[in-house]
Structure 1
Amino acid sequence: MAHYSFYNLRTILILTLGSLTYGYANSVLTYTLGLPGFLEYFNLNNDAAYANAIMGTINGIFSAGGVAGSFTAAFMCDRYGRKATMNTAAVVSILGGVLLAGSVNAAMLIVARLVSGWGVSMLVVLIPIFQAEVSPPTSRGLLVGQHGVWIVAANAITGWIGFGVYYSSNMSFQWRFLFALQCVCPLALLCCSHWVPESPRWLLMQGRHAESWEIISKLHTNSHEFSDRDDKTSYAEKEFHQMVKQVELDAKLWAEGGGAWQILTKPSYRKRMWMGFFTQFAAQATGAMVVYNYMVNLYKELGFSGGITIMLSATYVTVATLANFVASVIMDRVGRVRLLTIGLTGCMISLSLECVMEARFVGATDHTGNALGVFFIFCFICFYAGGIDATSYVYCSEIFATHIRAQGMAFSMAGTFLSTIVFLEVGPTALATIGWKYYLVFIGLTAVDVAIMLWYFPETKGLSLEGINAKFGDEVAVHFHDEEYPASRAEARSSGQGLEGEKDGTAPEHIEHMSRKPSHE
């Protein structure tokens, strides 16, 4: 059952401007590598070894900036708040786009990609955290899943724009315009930030209860599970009560346990950290970024040329956008872990079949074989986008306790950036040297990843962010979750249950206080 309001949806959709920013920046080089003007300006047409080295460096440095940006976001999120971090990341992302569009040599291009990676990685860490903290439990998959949907939508937009500028007769305009458009979404995010509230959970950690309640009361609508106002406690009030009590409990345990060192010393926190890192690593270990970033070259090897290679790439990410949206819709029913394992298995099988096609038909003129090669590439993206892409962001954003969520999400995304540094840096040389055999590495890694995920990973669908603590053996201050509550208050009373903290059938004392008019305590 959805408990979100228009205010909630508006907040989620504004935040997706950050998702669009990352998606565009992450994919723009894929299409510039297919533009004659870019290849000519940076002298990437004449010397294959030089071109491979430059392409690998440009991709690798973006991921290096991503690692730095991830931990910058983690620090700023807790110190200055989610909203201030968002605005800072938007400014850095705009700067990266300006430098890219104005690049005059390969060195400047590399520095610009570093700045760009730094800024947009702050957003890719922050946005799912922010979305998770303003989403109700039963719809969190749908709402946080929009992060993945709009990342890939940006990929598709980039592809179709790249296809259009390919036919421009102005060689400089082709790639400079494509890079300059990276500034549009972060600029829009800055302009719309006025309508984005601060995270209510971060406000609670700062002791700002009244401000937090004001936001929570707007974010969620009342549940319809009770027939009248006198015999119900609104969904927002129950959630706020749980949030307050959990923040109090976590603060106490955090202080008693030694503070930040617990991320390393406490087993349940270590477990969450490696699960988040592993989830993002497993997503990249499918070979998705290698397939995507060097897709133009892959199509050329299958016998396609000219603008058709960019058109196929744009179609590829358009299909991915639709698959991501389907994943976000079904995620709250199917579950995170099941979707992830289905996606990983499908990617492994699709990439195996793609290897067969490449081994058999690369350089050949067999149109049927080449068409099958393209077909299996599209099968690959359907499984990746429909099972892994949006789902991995949702899972990583929700498995961490509130007071370590920023650090946990940053560490998780480091799994993406560190693995892509390796996979993309060696990609051009590996593909030029051993060709399709490079993909065997990803097939083997994915087989191992599936087994680990099925065996170790707990399901989190439908649980509140605070309630997920129990999945890792940590204490939950107040158990609040639709499935944990009977359909009506009358059933609760007759079964001897009731909301924690109830006194003689009334709502918890703290909720009663907050529902009147919260004030600073």
Structure 2
Amino acid sequence: MTNFYNQVVLLAVSVGSFNYGYSFGAASTVLGLNSFLEYFDVSLTGSDPSYASSMQGAIVGIFFAGGFFGSFFFAWLSDRIGRKRALDLVGIVAVVAVILSTASVHIGMFLVGRIIQGFAGGGLNVICPMFQSEISVAEHRGRNVGLHGFMFVAGLAVANWLSLAAYFITDPVLQWRLVMGLQALAPIILLALRFWLPESPRWLILNNRDEEAFETLCKLHDNKDDVDHRLAHEERELIHNQLELDARQDTSWKGLFTRPSTRRRMLLGIFLMFLQQSTGQNVLYGFQVNVLASLGLVKWQPLLVVSFYVSWAALLNLVGGMVMDRLGRRTMVLWGLVGSTLATSIHTPLVIIYGGSDNKVGAGAAVAFLFLFITFFAPGIDVTSYVYGAEIFPTYMRARGLSVTIATYFAFAALYVSVSSTAQATIGAYFNILFIGLSAINCVIGYYFLPETKGLSLEAIGMLFGEADEVAHLESRAQGPASRDKSPTEQIRLQAVDSEKQE
């Protein structure tokens, strides 16, 4: 069971998730403020709409480009100096980015701020779910790591509501600068909380800091019925033995792709984020203001609809995280994919038919199916993909594996968003047909490819990838479903391939 201290640490780390969400959403939401569009001369109704379209695409897309490189850099750094100190550096980089983007006097300066903000966002998107997975008990890991998805979208929601409020500020420059400047609050809070954060016990053991790791495990997993620190002892022993088994393997980058089991893990992580981005969710969100304007919503109305849309998504991310440990990752991803694909398949023709018309019923139906899309996507794919991606890798390759996973997210987000700015200006909603087709294919691939990881320890997940003979785990001497709670005696059993077995 997750104790109070563990819950506090999980919430503190998720401030970084909120930071990522708000910084991602801030630039998209200011595109709905005329003061921002006029200040940088990027209005689609201005004198040069093609330039405006490309700049709007760059404002959204360059964030993802920064995130691609940030995910690799901060994953490497978290292995070198620890999850906690890497998170400190992310916070500092994020504050610098906020200063640049908020003080921007021309579009070039703003774009530099955005790419640095994306660089920090890549680190947050790697470190936060990785940190949360490494300090969670197996039976609650879905709910705990699900905080990343929830707080990420909560940050998006706050950015949208603040942009709506800023719309009514009379000072045009203050409108968008306030929205951008408030990005600094979350990283400053995160830097302040670092004095109460522990280091990941798995990273500590990996770096031969055994006693510190044990003290951390005691604080994270002790409860009133475990006065002898039984769970902490067990988990430390489990991590130790798993690392001993892992040390027998080629742990280089080349080894991660040449060894069949680790290659399968890497491909699964890549597929998860390709699947997530190929639903078109970032395109549907990033350019939603423009789509809603084509459906007849004017002035502050598109901002209001988007704010409710993202708030609904945040709530559903929370629900998804709460039920994930019961329903399972595989089930939720597949149902989320089927439902979101069907919703986009209906939303798209409605936008094509009723976009630019006076038919309020048709426009309302298009908006309704947009909400149906997020109703399936948020709990089924959004929150689940981060949990899945953070837990499928063993300790020695978790940072590197997750960096590839998150880099895939940023790569396809940047690709789809940058292309969509031109596509939306030329073929409009017909571009969504690409996402419908890709999602339909991914449904079939996912059905045969996705394993179920619920309830397994991070070490035991290796059995799903053909490593049953290379997994250290606990085997209770007592019998029955309640034996773990009743029996204080647990035996460590190593299942390792030795030379005699191979013969």
Structure 2 stretches lacking a partner, 5+ long: 495-503
Q: In the aligned structure 2, how far is the partner of 1:13 from the partner of 1:483?
A: 36
Q: In the aligned structure 1, how far is the partner of 2:291 from the partner of 2:493?
A: 61
Query: Relative to structure 1, is the Cα distance of residues 103 and 483 closer, same or farther in structure 2, using a 3 angstrom cutoff?
Result: farther
How far apart are residue 499 of structure 1 and its match?
2.4
How far apart are residue 235 of structure 1 and its match?
2.6
Q: In structure 1, what is the equivalent of residue 10 of structure 2?
A: 12
Q: Deviations over 1:101-134 (max 9, x none)?
A: 0111111111111111001210111100000000
Q: In the aligned structure 2, how far is the partner of 1:66 from the partner of 1:178?
A: 21
SS in 2 for 1:500: strand
Matched AA of 1:20: F
Query: Relative to structure 1, is the Cα distance of residues 114 and 346 closer, same or farther in structure 2, using a 3 angstrom cutoff?
Result: same
Query: Relative to structure 1, is the Cα distance of residues 481 and 190 closer, same or farther in structure 2, using a 3 angstrom cutoff?
Result: farther
Structure 1 stretches lacking a partner, 5+ long: 503-521
Q: In structure 2, what is the equivalent of residue 92 of structure 1?
A: 93
Q: In the aligned structure 2, how far is the partner of 1:501 from the partner of 1:348?
A: 45
Q: In the aligned structure 2, how far is the partner of 1:458 from the partner of 1:485?
A: 27
Q: In the aligned structure 1, how far is the partner of 2:491 from the partner of 2:486?
A: 8
How far apart are residue 359 of structure 1 and its match?
2.0
| Contact 2:478-2:484 within 8 A present in 1 as well | no
| Contact 1:464-1:480 within 8 A present in 2 as well | no
Confirm or deny that 1:478 pairs with 2:476.
no
Query: Relative to structure 1, is the Cα distance of residues 365 and 92 closer, same or farther in structure 2, using a 3 angstrom cutoff?
Result: same
Q: Deviations over 1:433-490 (max 9, x none)?
A: 1111100000000011111111011110010000101111124443238999733559
Matched AA of 1:238: E
Q: Deviations over 1:167-197 (max 9, x none)?
A: 1111100111111111110110000101110
Q: In the aligned structure 1, how far is the partner of 2:251 from the partner of 2:484?
A: 44
| Contact 1:276-1:396 within 8 A present in 2 as well | yes
Q: In the aligned structure 2, how far is the partner of 1:482 from the partner of 1:140?
A: 21
Q: In structure 2, what is the equivalent of residue 463 of structure 1?
A: 456
Query: Relative to structure 1, is the Cα distance of residues 364 and 178 closer, same or farther in structure 2, using a 3 angstrom cutoff?
Result: same
Q: In the aligned structure 2, how far is the partner of 1:398 from the partner of 1:426?
A: 32
SS in 2 for 1:499: strand
Q: In the aligned structure 1, how far is the partner of 2:108 from the partner of 2:298?
A: 29
Q: Deviations over 1:317-341 (max 9, x none)?
A: 0100110010000000000011011
Q: In the aligned structure 1, how far is the partner of 2:416 from the partner of 2:210?
A: 46
How far apart are residue 265 of structure 1 and its match?
1.4
Matched AA of 1:244: H
| Contact 1:137-1:464 within 8 A present in 2 as well | yes
Q: In the aligned structure 2, how far is the partner of 1:395 from the partner of 1:140?
A: 10
Confirm or deny that 1:291 pairs with 2:284.
yes
Q: In the aligned structure 1, how far is the partner of 2:458 from the partner of 2:484?
A: 27
Query: Relative to structure 1, is the Cα distance of residues 345 and 485 closer, same or farther in structure 2, using a 3 angstrom cutoff?
Result: farther
Query: Relative to structure 1, is the Cα distance of residues 374 and 191 closer, same or farther in structure 2, using a 3 angstrom cutoff?
Result: same
| Contact 2:138-2:458 within 8 A present in 1 as well | yes
Q: In structure 1, what is the equivalent of residue 497 of structure 2?
A: none
Q: In structure 2, what is the equivalent of residue 422 of structure 1?
A: 415
Confirm or deny that 1:205 pairs with 2:206.
yes
Q: In the aligned structure 2, how far is the partner of 1:313 from the partner of 1:188?
A: 27
Confirm or deny that 1:440 pairs with 2:433.
yes
Q: In structure 2, what is the equivalent of residue 245 of structure 1?
A: 241
Matched AA of 1:276: G
Confirm or deny that 1:326 pairs with 2:324.
no
Number of equivalences:
489
| Contact 1:66-1:121 within 8 A present in 2 as well | yes
| Contact 1:222-1:234 within 8 A present in 2 as well | no
Query: Relative to structure 1, is the Cα distance of residues 161 and 245 closer, same or farther in structure 2, using a 3 angstrom cutoff?
Result: same
Confirm or deny that 1:277 pairs with 2:276.
no
Q: Deviations over 1:335-374 (max 9, x none)?
A: 0011011111111000011012112211111111111111
How far apart are residue 259 of structure 1 and its match?
3.6
Q: In structure 2, what is the equivalent of residue 147 of structure 1?
A: 148
Match of 1:398 among 391, 408, 418: 391
Query: Relative to structure 1, is the Cα distance of residues 483 and 103 closer, same or farther in structure 2, using a 3 angstrom cutoff?
Result: farther
Q: What TM-score do you get using the length of structure 2 for normalisation?
A: 0.94
How far apart are residue 292 of structure 1 and its match?
0.3
SS in 1 for 2:305: helix
RMSD of the alignment, in Å? 2.1
Confirm or deny that 1:338 pairs with 2:331.
yes
Q: In structure 2, what is the equivalent of residue 36 of structure 1?
A: 34
Q: In the aligned structure 1, how far is the partner of 2:170 from the partner of 2:267?
A: 50
Confirm or deny that 1:173 pairs with 2:174.
yes
SS in 2 for 1:479: strand
SS in 2 for 1:363: coil
Identity over aligned pairs, percent: 37
| Contact 2:150-2:383 within 8 A present in 1 as well | yes
| Contact 1:67-1:417 within 8 A present in 2 as well | yes
Q: In the aligned structure 1, how far is the partner of 2:273 from the partner of 2:474?
A: 29
Query: Relative to structure 1, is the Cα distance of residues 484 and 443 closer, same or farther in structure 2, using a 3 angstrom cutoff?
Result: farther
Q: In the aligned structure 1, how far is the partner of 2:13 from the partner of 2:138?
A: 18
Query: Relative to structure 1, is the Cα distance of residues 138 and 338 closer, same or farther in structure 2, using a 3 angstrom cutoff?
Result: same
Q: In the aligned structure 1, how far is the partner of 2:277 from the partner of 2:111?
A: 22
